[in-house]
Structure 1
């Protein structure tokens, strides 16, 4: 069916060189926001965006190519909001790009049309992003972060064998009190980042200063939940836009105003450790009040025996914190996609409905990046869409087996 639809599209284009629009008729729309119920509609796409949504299918629209969506479903393209495509880049750039391009192609084939890369080599990521946007490479649209941490963190990374300009580049920046944070932020912005990833070895005052300067520069502040020696409450109090890794919230219950990283992790991995949800409730309520997104990475946590992540995520969702689907996991060139596992865990272990899980992987990811042009099926939004053979609200697996993927209204498969 996928190829039949594609041949119809190509045939129409060949027969009508002027064709600029696409009409998906009589399809059931899954909007991307839980409050909007599925509805039968016809979607007109032109110039890469959704031009109009008809409740009653029009008989004819100029030179529009028509796809019959009867019995099918249309959903927003998905977003993995926590990936790492360029943490370590092979010295052979051509070889590295072949690998990355293959991974990105696999993402698109499985319905992922946008990613948030949470720290990597900025020039490399910018080149990948530009090639995708120009049509040279098939891949998801890429938004990426610069990683800010204290000098002690980068020293630790060097001792583990990593070399290069760690801590001295615009995208891997070592900061300490007294340094010019605003200048560092501007350098990161010039490198093309959308947000600053606040990572480790920073005190509460510096976390707040990074957050404030990022916002002044029009960038997002994305943070680990625990930025040692700071606890999660200090991160939330700084007013960041999103916090990653739900398991890190367990550090909030450990004694002391600040934590030593080694001892803190030892405490969490002791057999007798039990998550105290009463210690999490005030923090999660603060996040909900401040509209701070939670990027829980439950799949990553479960694979590392960090079972507090699912409990914290369930509680956060119940308290009104907006959940963002991200994996922080290695993506393959072919086959299984980690985002599916994250979404199934959000549904099965964290109490999210299928509709809420879809919102976590579409609209919430876009909002966490400050994007208002995607993540839902609405007039004026980018036509990053998935045509599906069955209802994803009944089975999330369907999202990863699209009949067709459209990126800016064009078939990507």
Structure 2
């Protein structure tokens, strides 16, 4: 009953906010942080119309329509909406779908309140995620837009984890959790995943380098992206990079490249790591330069690594940034259901404080890079024609990232979704 009351309150709150939305909104006199790190912030105004950025002006705007709602943002800061590029919203116990949706709806509302307007879900129950996505798009639930993956792995992996989750689905034999044992499995599996609405294939474990390459090529031919773990045992990280995947997750996993041999055994590799495997700088740089050459994004999940005492993640991410590898902010962490702090901010702070990114680079990682790694070119920047997913902050995020903790206003697709101020 308590959770039901929360859900009803959330829906009423969302309806009240959306009812205030005018057709045009002018955000006037704010410091605009574009989303691309090389663009210097400037004071200007942003006109929103039909869910998109209609104009960005750095001179006083004239002839404002009487139908335009003008919001004075003097002393405030505008950034693109944030993106968590590594979440898992569809991996909870799904035996009771009503309860699972109530919990996830609360999580999604909290994501939006904290300025997260888009997420890349890195594998879960596709029908469940499709329903979550639909409810958000139709305005039934407040939350970010969801793009999700199908997880491909060898049959040995699925046998190891068993069938005790995902609502009783036979893992390894669904469109979203698929066992791949030969090249002949790949094309029909890709077709099935695409029908399930995925944006990308998550290449996960127990796959040879030949199968990784086959999956990546077939995914790209089908118009899907290929997202991989940094190490896909028994394949090494360099095998993954050379397959032309779009992103590699978990910077800590890249250390396994230096283990001798053409393949790596998962148990032995982790045993070496826990004994204090020292990072080989030459091997690390060879791998990172290969990623840079191929335009492979690094999804380092340093907050996850720090919480699990994986010290190499920070060292590898710092060097990746120095070498010009594009970085995205992903957490792979549990999100709270209530209005509590979110791990994305912790990830951003670690990228700034320990990994050497500048504040503008961190914001780029959490906006434009997050969009690009998901195949989205319609958001992540404050430019004419881009989707109007915007945050209004009351303090300067270039001075302190804590400015993102409580956005004063969250605008999603041109509509005010969250506001602490009266319009």
The answer to whether TM tops 0.5 is yes
Deviates more, 1:76-85 or 1:177-186: 177-186
What does residue 306 of structure 1 align with? 310
Within the alignment, does 1:103 sit opposite 2:107 as a pair?
A: yes
Name the CA shift for 1:11/1:59 in 2 (closer, same or farther; >3 Å).
Answer: farther
SS of 2:162's partner is helix
- Deviations along 1:353-388, one digit per CA (max 9) or x if unpaired, are 011000000000000011000011111011100001
Superposition RMSD in Å: 1.7
Partner of 2:93: 89
Report SS of the residue matched to 1:382.
coil
Aligned residues of 2:302 and 2:314 also touching (Cα < 8 A): yes
Match of 1:263 among 258, 268, 271: 268
* Residue 252 (structure 2) aligns with: 247
**Does the 8 Å CA contact 2:305/2:313 hold for their aligned counterparts?**
yes
Pair 1:232-2:237 in alignment: yes
What is aligned with 1:176?
181
Aligned residue in 1 for 2:157:
153
Distance in 1 (alpha carbons) for counterparts of 2:107 and 2:297: 27
Supply the distance in 2 between the matched residues of 1:267 and 1:344 (Cα, whole angstroms): 29
1:53-92 counterparts in 2 under 5 A?
A: 53-62=56-65, 63-92=67-96
1:287 correspondence with 2:291? yes
For 1:343, the equivalent position in structure 2 comes to 348
Matched, 1:377 2:365: no
2:129 aligns with 125
Q: How far is 1:46 from its partner?
A: 0.7
Identify which of 140, 144, 148 aligns with 1:144: 148
Name the residue aligned to 2:36.
33
TM-score when normalising by structure 2: 0.92
Distance, in Å, in 2 between the alignment partners of 1:291 and 1:11 is 40
Correspondence 1:325-364 to 2 at 5 A: 325-334=329-338, 335-364=340-369
Distance 1:179 1:268 in 2: 35
Q: Equivalents in 2 of 1:176, 1:304: separation in Å?
A: 31
Name the structure 1 match of 2:10: none
May I ask how many residue pairs the two structures share in their alignment?
401
Tell me if 1:191 matches 2:196. yes
Q: 1:21 aligns to what?
A: 24
Match of 1:280, SS state, is helix
What's the TM-score, normalizing by structure 1? 0.94
Query: For 1:318 and 1:100, how far apart are their aligned partners in 2?
Result: 37
Q: CA deviation at 1:160?
A: 7.5
Residues of 2 paired with 1:11 and 1:194: CA distance?
30
What is the CA-CA distance between 1:89 and the residue it aligns to? 3.5
1:181 partner SS: helix
Q: Determine the structure 1 residue equivalent to 2:281.
A: 277
Partners of 2:352 and 2:390 lie apart in 1 by 22
Deviation larger for 34-43 or 162-171:
162-171
The residue aligned with 2:219 is 214
